[in-house]
């Protein structure tokens, strides 16, 4: 069975997330769509931003276009509908808004290039994917826009494919380290304390606040809505009875830096999911060695990693050397070079 067939058997929705611009995520998406067509699978495609244009709107560099096969289901904002290089049958006009108008759910009449986009809200994207699946799709692919790691959140998709490559660094060692770091973050252990989980889920629902919990499961609200710049405040509410500190927003180095290292070793930090972590590989390892304990309410399944050996700056790696280095470091995650060998 082709790899895309395995994906369709296990997942309803898969996000393709690039670690940086030009990491090869659109190339990976096109390979998946072609392989799915060959296997007779019906795909739906949406995006967290605008994708499918021939020139990157930020860097002005040439970029691969998204090629959709006939009968595919696609989300297209009203202002991009006429820009499709093939016919699109409008199946539904939705209430999901983008900067380019409301999203249209369309069927591709004849294979061709299409500019795609979808809503930025995770909740709306989830509902859009459910709407698209109602047209008989075997799998929905979300083309994740740059710097939108949140689209990889468990609430949005069942699994991700992570695109990495030479664009990350001229050093192969750094490319491997940063890729492994992201995969390991996504695999952060979940909080297994069911009583604590139920309390955090109840207390945080729709409120979005930092919470401290003691060893008798009593919750303290420090009145802080974001941990950014609040390291010293968080430090002040941690005492010998504090067991968990729940942080619903971005988790950065400055937050950890404001908490006394001895206190940090005696508590467990809890985040909704790993996409909230914004700490680099080297510093992350230092924190773990110093005793930082972190759990998430939900982690993320990484279905595969794709590698792109070429960087826009003109340098490149040997494709097999890059693929093998990443595969050896990750161990049990499938790693593909879609340019050299497809997804087989």
* The predicted structure's pLDDT at residue 75: 95
In which region does residue 223 sit, left (phi positive, over 0), alpha (psi from -120 to 50) or beta (all else)? left
The 10 Å CB-count burial string (b at 16+, else e) for 172-192 is beebbbbbbbbbbbbebeebe
User: Are 98 and 29 in the same domain?
Assistant: yes
User: Are 22 and 136 in the same domain?
Assistant: yes
Residue 44 and residue 143: Cα distance in Å, rounded? 11
User: Are 68 and 211 in the same domain?
Assistant: no
Kindly state the DSSP code that residue 64 receives in the 8-state scheme.
P
Number of domains in the chain: 2
64 phi/psi in degrees, rounded to 5: -65, 145
Residue 169 and residue 135: Cα distance in Å, rounded? 42
Whether 36 is covered by a domain: the verdict is: yes
User: Are 157 and 285 in the same domain?
Assistant: no
Q: What tokens appear for 176 in the block?
A: 């491997």
Whether 123 is covered by a domain: the verdict is: yes
Instruction: State which residues form the domain around 222.
Output: 194-296
Best CA proximity match to 200, nearest among 280, 296, 71, 292 = 296
User: Are 50 and 78 in the same domain?
Assistant: yes
Strand 73-77 relative to strand 43-47, pairing: parallel
How many CB atoms neighbour CB 286 within 10 A? 13
The 10 Å CB-count burial string (b at 16+, else e) for 63-94 is bbbbbbbebbbbbbbeebbeebeeebeebeeb
Best CA proximity match to 308, nearest among 209, 179, 190, 155 = 179
Are 76 and 66 contacting, i.e. CB atoms less than 8 angstroms apart?
A: no
User: Are 204 and 291 in the same domain?
Assistant: yes
Cα–Cα distances in angstroms (integers) from residue 124 to residues 92, 337, 343, in the given order = 15, 32, 30
Whether 341 is covered by a domain: the verdict is: no
User: Are 269 and 149 in the same domain?
Assistant: no
Whether 342 is covered by a domain: the verdict is: no
Kindly state the DSSP code that residue 79 receives in the 8-state scheme.
G
Query: How many CA atoms lie within 13 Å of 241's alpha carbon, on the beta-carbon side?
Result: 9
* The predicted structure's pLDDT at residue 151: 54
Whether 80 is covered by a domain: the verdict is: yes
* The predicted structure's pLDDT at residue 58: 46
* The predicted structure's pLDDT at residue 150: 53
CATH number at residue 174: 3.40.50
* The predicted structure's pLDDT at residue 209: 82
* The predicted structure's pLDDT at residue 298: 93
- Residue 204 class from Cβ within 10 Å (0-12 exposed, 13-18 middle, 19+ buried)? middle
Q: What tokens appear for 290 in the block?
A: 């110093």
Whether 160 is covered by a domain: the verdict is: yes
Whether 343 is covered by a domain: the verdict is: no
Residue 276 and residue 247: Cα distance in Å, rounded? 9
Beta carbons within 8 Å of 67's beta carbon, 6+ residues apart: 30, 33, 34, 111, 112, 113
Whether 206 is covered by a domain: the verdict is: yes
User: Are 85 and 150 in the same domain?
Assistant: yes
* The predicted structure's pLDDT at residue 53: 47
User: Are 60 and 106 in the same domain?
Assistant: yes
User: Are 80 and 151 in the same domain?
Assistant: yes
Q: Splitting the chain (344 residues) into consecutive groups of 10 residues, what average pLDDT does each group show?
A: 90 92 89 94 87 47 77 95 93 93 95 90 88 96 66 77 94 95 94 95 76 93 70 85 92 87 93 90 92 94 94 91 95 86 55
* The predicted structure's pLDDT at residue 225: 63
User: Are 209 and 290 in the same domain?
Assistant: yes
User: Are 322 and 269 in the same domain?
Assistant: no
- Residue 16 class from Cβ within 10 Å (0-12 exposed, 13-18 middle, 19+ buried)? buried
């Amino acid at each position: 069975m082709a790899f895309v067939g395995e994906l369709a058997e296990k997942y309803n929705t898969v996000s393709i997330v690039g670690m940086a611009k030009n990491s090869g995520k659109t190339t990976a998406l096109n390979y998946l769509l072609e392989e799915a067509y060959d296997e007779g699978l019906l795909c739906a495609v949406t995006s967290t931003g605008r994708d499918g244009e021939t020139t990157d709107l930020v860097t002005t560099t040439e970029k691969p276009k998204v090629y959709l096969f006939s009968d595919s289901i696609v989300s297209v904002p009203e202002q991009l509908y006429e820009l499709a290089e093939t016919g699109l049958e409008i199946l539904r006009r939705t209430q999901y808004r983008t900067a380019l108008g409301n999203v249209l759910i369309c069927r591709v009449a004849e294979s061709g290039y299409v500019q795609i986009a979808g809503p930025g809200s995770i909740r709306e994207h989830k509902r859009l994917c459910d709407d698209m699946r109602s047209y008989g799709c075997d799998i929905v692919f979300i083309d994740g826009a740059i710097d939108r790691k949140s689209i990889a959140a468990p609430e949005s998709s069942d699994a991700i494919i992570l695109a990495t490559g030479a664009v990350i660094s001229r050093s192969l060692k750094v490319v491997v380290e940063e890729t492994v770091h992201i995969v390991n973050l996504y695999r952060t252990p979940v909080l297994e304390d069911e009583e604590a989980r139920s309390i955090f889920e109840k207390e945080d629902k729709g409120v979005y606040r930092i919470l401290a919990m003691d060893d008798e499961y009593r919750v303290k609200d420090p009145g802080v809505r974001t941990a950014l710049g609040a390291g010293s405040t968080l430090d002040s509410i941690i005492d010998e009875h504090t067991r968990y500190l729940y942080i619903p927003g971005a988790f950065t180095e400055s937050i950890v830096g404001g908490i006394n290292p001895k206190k940090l070793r005696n508590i467990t930090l809890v985040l909704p999911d790993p996409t909230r972590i914004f700490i680099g590989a080297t510093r992350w390892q230092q924190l773990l060695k110093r005793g930082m304990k972190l759990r998430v309410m939900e982690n993320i399944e990484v279905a595969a990693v794709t590698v792109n050996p070429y960087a826009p700056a003109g340098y490149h790696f040997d494709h097999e050397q890059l693929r093998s280095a990443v595969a050896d470091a990750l161990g049990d995650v499938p790693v593909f070079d879609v340019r050299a060998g497809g997804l087989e």
